[in-house]
Structure 1
Amino acid sequence: MLPETFFVATGIVLGMLTFLCLYRAVIGPSAPDRVVAVNVIGTITLVILVLFAFIYGRTLYIDVAIVYAMINFLSTLTISRYLEKGRVTG
């Protein structure tokens, strides 16, 4: 299998998974399900950024992916804390 074919197939699979998670985020039965779905979408986006970095040989995509991962993690923590306690701060 050619590397280009592998990357295209991986991109298609990740795109389909993103749409499945988007469906779960919109229709999800509860708020925690929606939070997990949005977190998975963020993780898939992160994988796509790293895939772009590998394909194009640009380290800038890795830097963007690291920052995006930190923002994704912090937003998930904040939303989870809000859902649990009803407020964000202490």
Structure 2
Amino acid sequence: MNVLDHVYTVTFVLLGMAVLLTLYRLVRGPSVMDRILCLNATSVLLISFVAVEVAVRGDSAYIGLVITFALLGFVGSLTAARFAERRAHDRG
């Protein structure tokens, strides 16, 4: 194993820990906006995970998957934020 393999391993471990921490905050989040932010952070972490996997394999076949995850994460976060804003506006 060379140094780059160790770097990839550490990167995957750190990304996994970050996903676990954001999922914990997703469950424990005190407000809806915290949960929306955690979903957005989780989608960014998943995109990062796939991007590192692309770098490890050296295969660019998953670039479409990265772009799709990015667009779905953005649209999902935007939709959830607009829904939360309307809900807060309706409450008063």
On whether the aligned pair clears a TM of 0.5, the verdict is yes
Q: Does 1 or 2 have the higher relative contact order (CA < 8 Å, sep 6+)?
A: 2
* Counterpart residue number, 1:69: 70
The residue identity in structure 2 corresponding to 1:35 is: I
Q: How many residues align?
A: 86
Distance 2:85 2:54 in 1: 37
Indicate the residue corresponding to 1:40 in structure 2. Answer: 41
Larger Rg: 2
Aligned to 1:58: 59
Cα deviation, residue 70, structure 1: 0.3
- Seq. identity, %: 29
Measure how far apart 1:38 and its partner are: 1.0
RMSD over aligned Cα atoms: 1.0
| Larger fraction in helix | 2
Q: Give the TM-score, by structure 2 length.
A: 0.90
Matches within 5 A, 1:20-39: 20-39=21-40
5+ residue gaps in structure 2?
Answer: 88-92
Give TM-score, length-normalised by structure 1: 0.91
